[in-house]
Structure 1
């Protein structure tokens, strides 16, 4: 018996006539309906003809159609199917059924089938026409999951090329309706008004400082505060509490803080890993006792939790992030968007007036992101790239997507697919790639399943891949083999799902027909070896060699560290299955890994193996290093000295050394330094053809002026013996004959009236001639260099060699400055001449004759 009263009360019924017209006239429609209006439950039943638009009647006067409803999550797919079956007064599996990965409840008479978007993609790849399906409803489009966006693109292709009669509805609580309408070729937008009650916003920020989240880490201070806010809400309000937390771990911690019950209210947990019985009990409603339901974002719009009058929002969400440079993909904790906050708050006003307690300051609200990031813009695109390749569009350029895939992420994904043999050089899928796509797991895990089955048998490979496809609970530890043993003997919900998924994968790989997949391989290796091999096959660039007790270097070049107390500490090699890199951390953090040996690492990561003759400049040794090296990616396996390295590579290494260390590696005698200073002066004053001899210029021209020395050198010691001055002479402008004028233009010494030849110092901006004052008597004008363009700066020294005066204009000094110097110094140095007129006196290096 149908629950006619419930059906008739669902607000979406008012939009059903417009939806029917849109589909009749255009074949597509965008349905915007708030949570709780019946878009997920009544709309498919009406479209299938199982009920009329008013909730009554067997077929509403129309034909029965087969409807496929796609949900982004397994828990939502099961819940929607159960709700629709309940509305029809039937058991799931009759006219309404569901299919999720590893579980199917549907039969020949099923008219409305709810599937996950991942299952829908698999069906589209097998049967693009979706034979027998009349209508597809893509639910919760606003969440922008990658599988949902991909399924929408494929379905629009199907409508264009194969099935123009296939009707398509994009349904969402809140979405970019106009964007979806344009994407679907001008589809009409149909809006349903929800019945919402007022929701009071209560700002409840923590009183203590809370550190921002990073990776999967959430400050325990915030979780303690959330638990406190739940207790406060129970005291201040009536009704059940729905508390939003970012993930399963945080739900478990808050549940522990609250205990099994709090203030007489029962504490329940809703997430994808919760047992089906618990999920059903929460979604069915309470039995008179107050409830506190701790939930992930799945309860924002995908699920309806009856009895809720209070929402407590921790303000966090989980989004995928991919570090393509390091090959790390993981969920990360972020601030929830304003759109998500509105969705969550709305849950408190579904059935009556309610309240939302927001666990952040009101002042933070404007700084929150407006919407969550579309998954296609931030996630690992390897699975998407394989789906697109198998669909016949390797670069995804022809797919109708709201947001295009980032070029860098798509390129990284193609590289993974090429390395695993899933696509060829043109990006087209290989036969192996099509098999991988049909296994229903990430391409990395599909590779591990296919290749692992040949090595260790289908069952054991499937069991390990099942562990990797849904990360085990944290209490299972970070040792993959130990987690495997725990799952085998475990009786928790995770172990039950793991056994079901392992069975599905075993059947898939045996039925796949892959070489060796069906063979009963004897258990020649223990759990540790099998787990390590399969993990290494899935993530070959993450095989890692120890660099300390808990420190490792992965083949990708990324450093990794084990956690305190890890069971893996101290082993020589590990295969890192799950890792993340906390903000500002130098190393990735290993969350799940397995023990392997070098042979396993080399087998799994064979494409990364390289043997090379390595000749380079070592910054650590400050010398040329020439070795024969074998590597697995960035991990060095062995090295031996190279007896006779090629001369051109040694030359290149020496140039590296000069670039790193500077021209100071050469032997700069005082004479060489003087020559460099003279050339620098001429280049600064006269320019070309006089060479630039700055460090940068000399390094750039090193092959030219050090050519012969570089050819003969074999290491740093040879460079240190090179006479830099002699080599520098090669840069002189010999071709034009200007080199012969070096001593004329920038003389190393100048002859003064006393007959002395005094060295000119070119180290500063202006050449300096430092000479005793008495040696310049009779010299009326300042000496000049560079074709008379630059006067030297004369440092006039006392008889003791100390500066007495500085001038670039001797004539002026003799006239105006000499008299003061003479008065000051002649009493101190009476044996030296101090004539009244220095311009007519005879210059001398000697003292006065004795009297």
Structure 2
């Protein structure tokens, strides 16, 4: 092996200046945070520099990378610098590809692989240090790996010769946050990229723009103005292919040079195609790499000095309402924009063309949100249970997952028969243990383990491979999943452009089969009731296996709309009108997505299944129960004996008598769903509620009748009045005021009438209603009725003055006041001048304070 110090010195990268501080800090501390902007060389140099560290004691250096390509590339680069091949001093482990040897010291692994290494051996006694590279990406697997490593050091520290050191490397994150999380770990900062990058902004971005066409135009212009290869960031494969077509068309039309190498770069490409994209351009050739954010970090693409950035990415976000993960198009963060721009300055001065305006740059979020805040929690929950921890709050997270979403994940694992109650909590069943050992989503893991029990493992591995990767379906192919299965089983009949993808899927299928054999045993209980699976057709077997993975997405067509389906989880989804599956009564939906302008999800992948097979295979999930609920269409209570699969009713029989408690519960459920507005609130009920709310605002010893508290206490105040309710008409007859009053003691009712009376006696002797719906409460009286009164009327022992609406003799508004004395001395003069001629029969004295209050005319007064 070559001299490592010489190799690092010859590289002359910015990170070199920070190496003495890194080495000294790790000698004295077990944790370190390294801040190193793009282009510093941290991925390649730091692991090599630590090979000769005295604390390593012959143990391994584990380096985590967020992507398979980055892991392979980093390992290959380090090995080549040492004059070796992979699997000697440096190797890598990624899904479906291990390249390590007996003497490998530096292992570059993907984040998910590291978590499985920890699960297999929580002590990691042969590891000296774990390096988290590109931690600013904040993937769920990186957060989980870091949290479990911290807990492992606490739980197993006594079993190790020395603690495992932790080095977290980040290009853009605030190092102080990580330092605090790691118990005040030292922070070392390295200089950034070697060469300057000029940033140019464009016209403002709008969502209606075609990002692929706009990027192609920017590339066309950049080729004319600059020299060097170009890296274009686009949100996904669709945009990459569209941009590539536009560029090739211009090449063919002679608008761009023939010596233009257009290379896509995204996760689903073969390794060979990915390597081609990051290799140097040939002599006399300009390379244009069209990439997703896979090229944002860790990779050095030779010759790139120009970056065109769409400013967009697709982000996987789990929707807890649908139970599905969607790829949402969204703006990148400022940190990502900085990362992308840095790709142009790694080897020479560069240019970054941002396809948004400078003012929009300031609107970007500083950092992307951690994946743990919006990802599917089911794989995480299974990992934690395999670790031995059911309560995610006990894990030392940098950012903890939302408790409600974690609870939802536990509920799905229960549906998948992965959990058991062990008396003091929950733990994994034997089925769950087997599922946790498979590198696929727990849904697919459940399908695989059950399939092994049913001797359908080959077909299940085919399905799992297809569902683990991007859909290979072509345009206008429809949602029928069996057509994809047929292509993978008989690839010679598939379109030519899919042969590469099918080859990768077959490799994944073989790997899954090996893993499945490793984690399963004959002792596992059979999870399904199917005894003669062998007699099922392949289509039925596909549907059965999908239902094992997606029991909550078994769906039934609406009787009045054959394209619309109700799923067992209560959601609705639609097929396109021309889909070949239209007309199938029952489906298992493997994938659905939202569609702009549509309220329901669109079914993307599904398989038809028969009711007979569902009843045979999932008899344990069919629930028979008496149901009493409010039918909003009929506007009445419906009482039935039902057999249901989740939200799907298979059969229903009318009950002649329903439990009164169930009827009341049905009405309560309606009120909780629709709110208090479904009740008939009379004027008396509204005023009563407002009176009490006024007293509560003055004295909190009085109860509050807010919507929230009334809804929360329906059992206490309203349920006794709901026993006779069967229809909407009955509900409107419920006496709300009486029900509310009944919650008050006799003493409270008397005090309520005293402090917040229904009416107020004005000086004329008439009781005027108080309107409590306004704040402050309002009384309305003719101006003459207030003569002789200089003190504004009030309630609640004088604490709440009333707002007086002074009316004309005809009952028309004249003035609003809470200060009678000021009114008599001021505005009254103008009012009298205007009204005296209009209402000459009524008194308009010069001194209203000394006048007698009255409702009568002058002639009526003279007769009394």
Match of 1:23 in 2: 26
Name the counterpart of 2:649: 636
Equivalent of 1:528 in 521, 524, 539:
539
Shift of the 292–145 alpha-carbon distance from structure 1 to 2, 3 Å rule, reads: same
Whole-Å Cα distance in 1 between the matches of residues 684 and 182 of structure 2? Answer: 73
Distance change >3 Å, CA 180–CA 639, structure 1 → 2: same
Determine the structure 2 residue equivalent to 1:165: 163
Name the structure 2 match of 1:96: 90
Query: What displacement does 1:365 show?
Result: 0.9
Cα offset, 1:97, TM superposition: 1.8
Residue 247 of structure 1 corresponds to which residue in structure 2? 236
What is the CA deviation profile of residues 98-129 of structure 1, one whole-angstrom value per residue up to 9, with x for unaligned ones?
Answer: 11111112222322221111111111111112
Q: Deviation at 1:329?
A: 2.0
TM-score, normalisation: structure 2: 0.74
For 1:496 and 1:418, how far apart are their aligned partners in 2? Answer: 35
Q: Who is 1:314 aligned against?
A: 310
- Map 1:40-59 onto structure 2 (within 5 A): 40-49=43-52
Q: CA deviation at 1:142?
A: 0.9
Q: What's the secondary structure of 2:393's corresponding residue?
A: coil
Give per-residue Cα distances to partners, 1:687-708, cap 9 Å, x unaligned: xxxxxxxxx9x99999999989
Alignment of 1:468-487 (within 5 A): 468-475=467-474, 477=477, 478-487=479-488
Tell me the SS of whatever aligns to 1:462. helix
SS at match of 1:594: strand
Q: Is the 8 A contact 1:611 1:629 kept in 2?
A: yes
Residue 641 of structure 1 and its aligned partner are, at CA, apart by 1.7
**Structure label with greater radius of gyration:** 1
- Answering whether residue 222 of structure 2 is matched by residue 233 of structure 1, we say yes
Q: Which residue of 2 aligns with 1:34?
A: 37
Shift in CA distance, 474/233, structure 1 to aligned 2, threshold 3 Å: farther
In the alignment, the residues of structure 2 paired with residue 29 and residue 305 of structure 1 have an alpha-carbon distance, to the nearest angstrom, of 29
Report whether the alignment pairs 1:297 with 2:293. Answer: yes
SS at structure 2 position matched to 1:440? coil
Cα-to-partner distance string for 1:771-821 (whole Å, 9 max, x where unaligned) = xxxxxxxxxxxxxxxxxxxxxxx99xxxxxxxxx99999997586279xxx
- Whether the aligned pair in 1 keeps the contact of 2:181 and 2:398 (CA below 8 Å) is yes
Q: How does 1:429-508 map to 2 (within 5 A)?
A: 429-455=428-454, 457-475=456-474, 477=477, 478-488=479-489, 489=491, 490=494, 492-508=499-515
1:624 aligns with 2:620: no
**What's the CA shift for 1:273?**
1.0
CA distance 1:527–1:355, shift in 2 (3 Å): farther
501-510 vs 342-351, which moves further: 501-510
Pairs within 5 Å for 1:738-817: 816=859
Partner of 1:402: 398
1:193 is matched with: 191
C-alpha distance in 2 between matches for 1:80 and 1:646 = 69
- Aligned residue for 1:202? 200
CA deviations over 1:258-311 (Å, ceiling 9, x no partner): 228553311101111111111112223121211110111111112111100110
**Contact 1:450-1:514 at 8 Å conserved across structures:** no
Per-residue CA deviations over 1:419-452 (Å, capped at 9, x if unaligned) read 3232334133333322221111122221121123
In structure 2, relative to structure 1, the CA distance for the partners of 1:651 and 1:90 (3 Å cut) is closer
Task: Output one character per residue of 1:374-407: Cα deviation in whole Å (capped at 9) or x when no partner.
Answer: 1111111121122222223322334332212211
| Conserved? CA contact 1:457–1:518, under 8 Å | no
Aligned-partner Cα distance in 1 for 2:501–2:78: 27
CA distance in structure 1 between the aligned counterparts of 2:112 and 2:552, rounded to whole angstroms: 27
Q: Is the 8 A contact 1:36 1:350 kept in 2?
A: yes
C-alpha separation in 2, matches of 1:355 and 1:679:
67
* Alignment counterpart, residue 364 of structure 1, candidates 337, 344, 360: 360
1:259 to 248, 259, 268: 248
Q: Which moved more, 1:91-100 or 1:563-572?
A: 563-572
Query: Within 5 A, what are the aligned runs for 1:274-673?
Result: 274-288=269-283, 289-425=285-421, 426-455=425-454, 457-475=456-474, 477=477, 478-488=479-489, 489=491, 490=494, 492-515=499-522, 524-547=535-558, 548-563=561-576, 565-582=578-595, 585-601=598-614, 609-650=622-663
In structure 1, what is the Cα distance between the partners aligned to 2:684 and 2:178?
Answer: 71
Structure-1 separation of matches of 2:686 and 2:470: 68
Q: Residue in 1 aligned with 2:791?
A: none
Number of the residue aligned with 2:181: 183
**1:115 matched to 2:109:** yes
| Aligned counterparts of 2:408 and 2:391: Cα–Cα separation in 1 | 12
Distance 1:626 1:525, change over 3 A: same
Structure 1 CA distance for aligned equivalents of residues 58 and 245 of structure 2:
49
> Bigger CA drift: 508-517 or 304-313?
508-517
CA contact (8 A) 1:205 1:358 kept: no
Asked if the contact 1:458–1:517 (Cα under 8 Å) also holds between the matched residues in 2, the reply is: no
- Identify the residue that residue 8 of structure 1 maps to in structure 2: 10
Q: Unaligned stretches of 5+ in structure 2?
A: 692-706, 750-768, 772-777, 781-808, 811-839, 844-851
* Residues 841, 859 of structure 2: 8 Å contact kept: no
1:414–1:427 contact (8 Å) kept in structure 2? no
Q: Secondary structure at the match of 1:285?
A: coil
In 2, are the aligned partners of 1:654 and 1:710 still within 8 Å (CA)? no
- Return closer, same or farther for 1:40/1:645 CA change in 2, 3 Å cut-off: same
* SS of residue matched to 1:571: coil
8 Å Cα contact 2:211/2:239 also seen in 1? no
Query: C-alpha separation between the residues in 2 aligned to 1:44 and 1:60?
Result: 14
